[in-house]
Chains A and B, each alone.
Chain A
Amino acid sequence: MRFSRFELFWLAELQRQRDVSDADQQADRFRLTELDAKQGMTEQLLERARRSAERRKDTQHIGRWQQLRRLLTLIFALLAVALGIGATQAVLNQPQPISLLFAVSVLVVPNLIMLLLWALVAVRRNRPVGVTASGLQLLEWLQRSSQAHELGTAWLSHVQQQKLLQPLMAMLSNGFWLLIALSSWATLLLYLSFNDYAFHWATTILSEEQLHTFVRLAHYLPELLFGATLPELSAASAAANFDNTAGRWLSLTVVSYAVLPRAVIFSAAFLLFSLRCARMQLDLNAPGHVATVRAIEAAQRPTRNVDADSGREHESLTFRYASEGKGEVSLSLDFEADPNWRGDENYLGVVARQQDKKALLDRLDKEPAERLEVRIAGSLTPDRSSLRYLAALAARTRRLTVVLVKSAGTTYLKQWQELLEQHEVTYVDTE
């Protein structure tokens, strides 16, 4: 099934809502590696939504949704046309001469009142009202399935996020009234063209002055837009072409106050809708999309192992001890963590530099020690070099003891203990 861009964004919103409610299941259903990494992130999310929808058979529901939408639009349109024709019929079926004031009130005033109400109530609403709300409720009621409900919720959320709801509602509401106005105008034209009607200015409660003011006001737009001629208020029946002028004036008044305002608003709403449709963007920061975007990036931009551990280089250290030794030696390896430590006469101090380490090994080569005590700062991380050096020292003493010097903060005592135990080296912890 081929989707419009609007539908793709709708599906993306549906998918986002599913991701929010059950991310794990959604992840299992679609492998992100199926997506084309060359595409932008929005396009990839749209593609994922499209494919997921196809797999879940959402496409059928969308097809049905769209079919029903078209059907409802047609029904609403027919209703509007019928209302428009009915209104004109109601006017023209009045006993002749027909009151022009009454005709204007029937054909124009309801439209203007509803336009005013729409401007007051619906124009800034970010939730469906009026015809849109009724249409949506009807759509859901006609389908009555969980998937249709999901689709309906996603549709609403999608049009709200993309700021499409207001122009859409404006199109629907004003389109409905535009059809009423157009059909009533067309009916009026048809009947006036082929029938003979008599008109007059008639009122019972308005004074002549009030009537005059109302008529002048009503005449303003038809005159401005079409240069319409006003049927004379005085001596109406005396003018030979009064009915002709009145018929023309009435039709132009309907165009000016009912058809044109609705057509202008409808066109503006349509333009705005199209513009916003063209500028639709996915909010990659929205819940649901955030996690998916991260997952896509992780799948398409994985960590690469560029120089793998072959396993050959793990050296196996062996601690072998000297068969004989004399005296005691103690030292601090690399660093003395206890600033107050002074040691005894056997203490060699801190052995840190490579040449010092080598010198000690040379000395012990010549005269192995009976007991060797190595102080190690627990705050220093164990490393291969230190262990290798301990192994070298072990070979030059009969008894090696490691003193793990505790210090404040993070320590590697546990790691040292594990390693020393692994090599069966005696150790003690300082308190």
Chain B
Amino acid sequence: MSTLNKPLQVAVVGHTNAGKTSLLRTLLELREFGEVDQRPSTTRSVLAQGVWLEGEQILSFYDTPGLESGSELYTEIEGYADAHRHDGPAQIRAFLQSPSAETIYAQEAKVLRQLLQSDAAFYVIDCRDPVLPKYQDELQLLTRCGKPMLPVLNYTASTPNREQDWREALARLNLHAVVAFDTVSPPEGGEKYLLQSLATVIPAAEPVLTKLLQQRRQERERRFIGGIHSIAELLFEVASYHIRVPHELPEHELKQAAARLQQRIREREQKTVQELLGRFAFLPEDAVTAHLDIRTGTWQDDLFEPETLKAWSKDTGFGVGAGAAAGAGVDLMVGGLSLGLATALGAAAGGLYQSWRHLGEKVKQRWRGERELGVDAATLATIAGRQLFLLQQLSRRGHAATEAVEVAVDHRLSREQFSAIEKVLRPVLTETPDIDREKVIRKLEVLLQESL
């Protein structure tokens, strides 16, 4: 499959706190990769994580400790320049043999050792920082390892943004291929540009990286479609929630019953939130949903609700037909001895059966003096809007982001946006029997996608 004999090894290097681990979290879509903290020297070891394509490992990313003593180390390595004139890697190797590589510069030694073993490197830059001499020293040092280096400008969405200064400084070091990639909110197509740029510095990796990009695109599409499906299932299930209570129920008990329904709805919504987070490989704490305010419900006590009657008349027609046909079969099989009685009985039984299925429960309810509380359209519109908002946020969000997505109550769908969805959910809300769940969910998926 690949033109490479072994996985492509890419080291991620840079000054401390530049966002190396964050870049890898986003690229690997692993929210729990490494440790991210604003304190310096958070990453002290070299961590390796593979990337697989069709069961074969194609890439190894190496997260390295941050460089913190670039200028001093630059001076130190200059000491080896005479012995290894015009041979950067030899100068670095000589340094790595020295005692200081085990002590004062141990952290930097890890970076350089890994870079020497890698095929290429991403040099991560916090482009909010000015171009300081110590950073330039670091870069000079890293280029001596003789490996293709791709500068990645991180935090481009933040202020101050010194992207231009950095591009000019990098150009002076002959590093012209620079990628702007905000790890918290990756730009549209950012990953593609990053991996394509990597392919330009390592042409042999181009086929596998192209395949990887395709796979990632398909995965993103699948995740999004899966998310839409989960929201459609949520709406279907919440719409089917009903609580039956006696007509003459004291006020406080009525409130308790409504509270039970509301709690059930909230729990179901939360389940979808967690499912969406999991689908996008985020952690449970990565989304905070505002308390769903369910003020009202809908009483489903109209025996002759138009939707119910419509479905009843359709199904009863079928029931009468099917019953009559089955009865006719019996009449014929007994040689007409039954005088068409089976046909008549079959038709009656079919019609009664269908009527009972549609109206039986409601008639029973009336008989017992009960009524049913179901979810109202406004709540469903809020749930749909909130979940779609979360889905959109998660599909854009980088795995380096540490602040939770806040899903507010006002992320609801408008009446116009929700009217078509409500129409599809109507049979579920009115408890029409024999609803084709899959069909309703498919319709909901289409409408949800349209409302985005």
A309 at interface by CB-CB < 8 Å: yes
Given contacts A290-B278, A409-B159, contact A83 B335 (CB under 8 A): no
A291: chain B residues within 8 A (beta carbon): 278
Contacts of B434 in A (CB 8 A): 127
Instruction: Kindly identify which residue among B55, B71, B437, B439 contacts A354, using a CB–CB cutoff of 8 Å.
Output: B71
Instruction: Write the A370-391 contact mask toward B (1 if CB under 8 angstroms, else 0).
Output: 0000000001111111001000
In whole angstroms, what is the CA distance A149 to B431 when docked? 22
A110 on the B face (CB < 8 A): yes
Asked if B191 CB lies within 8 Å of chain A CBs, one says: no
Q: Which size bracket describes the interface of B in this complex?
A: 35 or more
Nearest Cβ on chain A to B345's Cβ, whole angstroms: 15
- Kindly identify which residue among A40, A379, A384 contacts B41, using a CB–CB cutoff of 8 Å: A384
Contact A113 B281 (CB under 8 A): no
B226-A305 in contact (CB<8A): no
Query: Contact partner of B68 among A301, A357, A385, CB < 8 A?
Result: A385
- A159 CB, nearest partner CB in chain B, Å: 12
Known: A290-B278, A294-B281. A384 touches B436 (CB 8 A): no
Q: Is the CB of A383 within 8 A of B15?
A: yes
Asked if B146 is an interface residue, CB under 8 A from chain A, the answer is: no
Which of A20, A105, A307, A334: most chain B Cβ within 10 A? A307
Stretch of B103-111, B173-181, B414-422 contacting A (4+ beta carbons < 8 Å): B103-111
Tell me how far the C-beta of A349 lies from the nearest C-beta in chain B, rounded to whole angstroms: 14
Cross-interface CB contact of A102 among B33, B46, B335, cutoff 8 Å? B335
Question: What chain A residues lie within 8 Å of B103 (beta carbons)?
Answer: 312-313, 315
Given contacts A294-B278, A301-B50, A304-B47, whether A385 and B72 have CB atoms under 8 Å apart is yes
B52 interface residue, CB < 8 Å from A? yes
User: Complex: how many Å from CA A418 to CA B37?
Assistant: 14
Contact pattern, B 95-109, Cβ under 8 Å of A = 1, otherwise 0 = 000000011101100
Q: Once the chains are docked, how many angstroms separate the CA of A140 from the CA of B422?
A: 34
Q: Is A366 interfacial (CB-CB < 8 Å)?
A: no
Q: Does A241 contact B (CB under 8 A)?
A: no
Q: Which of A303, A307, A354 contacts B72 (CB 8 A)?
A: A354
Bound-state CA distance A59–B72 (Å) is 68
- Interface contact A380-B226, CB-CB below 8 Å: no
Closest to A110 in B: B329
A137 to B241, CA, bound (A): 23
In the complex, are the beta carbons of A117 and B38 less than 8 A apart?
A: no
Query: Which of B126-134, B359-367, B374-382 makes up part of the contact surface?
Result: B126-134
CA distance A117 to B322 in the complex (A): 7
Contact B44 A410 (CB under 8 A): no
Size band of the A side of the interface? Answer: 35 or more
- Residues 207 to 236 of chain B near chain A (Cβ within 8 Å): 222-223, 225-226, 229-230, 233
Docked complex Cα distance between A4 and B391 (Å): 38
CB-CB under 8 A from A414, the residues of chain B are 38
Query: Given the known A-B contacts A301-B52, A303-B48, are A285 and B222 also in contact in the complex, defined by CB atoms under 8 Å?
Result: yes
Residues of A within 8 A of B114 (CB): 306-307
Q: How far is the CA of A86 from the CA of B330 in the complex (A)?
A: 10
Question: Across the interface, do A312 and B69 meet the contact criterion of CB distance under 8 Å?
Answer: no
Cross-chain contact B230 with A305 (CB below 8 angstroms):
no
* A383 engages B40 (CB within 8 Å): yes
Assess the B160–A409 pair: CB atoms within 8 A: yes
Q: Is A308 located at the chain interface by the 8 A CB criterion?
A: yes
A303 with B45, Cβ < 8 A, contacts A87-B333, A383-B40, A409-B128 known: no
**Complex: A303 Cα to B15 Cα, angstroms:** 22
The residues in A between 55 and 105 inclusive whose CB is less than 8 angstroms from any CB of B are 83, 86-87, 90-91, 93-94, 102, 105
| Binary CB contact string for chain B from 122 to 153 against chain A (1 if under 8 A, 0 otherwise) | 00001011101110010000000000000000
**Quick check: B275 and A287 within 8 Å, CB to CB?**
yes
Q: Is the CB of A354 within 8 A of B133?
A: yes
Name the residue of chain B whose CB is nearest to the CB of A113: B325
- Given A285-B225, A384-B40, A409-B160, A110 and B333 contact (CB-CB distance below 8 Å): yes
* A352 touches B (CB below 8 Å): yes
Taking CB atoms, residues of chain B closer than 8 Å to A110 are 325, 328-329, 332-333
Please, how many angstroms separate the alpha-carbon atoms of A191 and B65 in the complex? Answer: 92
Q: In the complex the two chains form, is B329's CB within 8 Å of A114's CB?
A: yes
In the complex, whether A280 has a CB less than 8 A from a CB of chain B is no
- Report B139 CB to chain A, min CB distance, Å: 14
Q: Are A383 and B16 in contact (CB under 8 A)?
A: yes
Asked if A381 contacts B332 (CB within 8 A), the reply is no
Q: How far is A127 from B71 in the complex, measured between Cα atoms in Å?
A: 71
Shortest distance between the CB of B347 and any CB in chain A (Å): 13
A303 to B336 CA separation, bound complex (whole angstroms): 78
From 109 to 153 in chain A, residues with beta carbon under 8 angstroms from any chain B beta carbon are: 109-110, 113-114, 117, 121, 125-127
Contact between B436 and A306, CB atoms less than 8 A apart = no
A206 at the B interface (CB under 8 A): no
Given A352-B134, A353-B133, the answer on whether A86 and B333 have CB atoms closer than 8 Å is yes
* Contacting pair B325 A114 (CB below 8 A): yes
Q: What chain A residues lie within 8 Å of B322 (beta carbons)?
A: 117, 121
- Considering the chains assembled together, what is the distance between the CA atoms of A113 and B342 in angstroms? 15
Cα separation A304 to B318 with both chains bound (whole Å): 64
A385 touches B71 (CB 8 A): yes
A347 within 8 A of B: no
| 1/0 contact string of A303-330 vs chain B (CB within 8 Å) | 1111111101101000000000000000
B82 CB within 8 Å of chain A: no
Contact with A along B29-44 (1 / 0, CB 8 A): 0100110001111001
B132 contact set on A, CB distance < 8 A: 334-335, 352, 380
- B106 close to A313 (CB less than 8 A): yes
Q: From the candidates B40, B55, B230, name the one contacting A287 in the complex (CB within 8 A).
A: B230
Report A398-417 CB contacts with B as 1/0, cut-off 8 Å: 00000000001110101100
Say if the beta carbon of B279 comes within 8 Å of chain A: yes
Instruction: Say yes or no for A286: interface residue by CB 8 A criterion.
Output: yes
As a 0/1 sequence over residues 35 to 48 of chain A, the CB contacts with chain B under 8 angstroms (1 = contact) are 00000100000000
Within 8 Å of chain A (Cβ to Cβ): is B158? yes
In the complex, the answer to whether B332 meets A106 with C-beta atoms within 8 Å is: yes
In whole angstroms, how far apart are the Cα atoms of A24 and B328 in the complex? 56
12 sampled A-B residue pairs with Cβ under 8 A: A40-B55, A106-B332, A114-B329, A126-B436, A287-B229, A290-B275, A305-B46, A306-B45, A352-B132, A352-B134, A381-B16, A385-B68
List the 10 shortest-distance A-B pairs measured between CB atoms, nearest first. Answer: A313-B106, A110-B329, A307-B46, A309-B44, A381-B17, A383-B68, A384-B68, A354-B71, A90-B335, A285-B226
Query: With contacts A110-B333, A384-B68 known, what are 13 further pairs, Cβ within 8 A?
Result: A90-B335, A121-B318, A127-B437, A285-B223, A294-B281, A303-B47, A306-B45, A306-B47, A308-B45, A310-B106, A334-B132, A383-B68, A415-B40
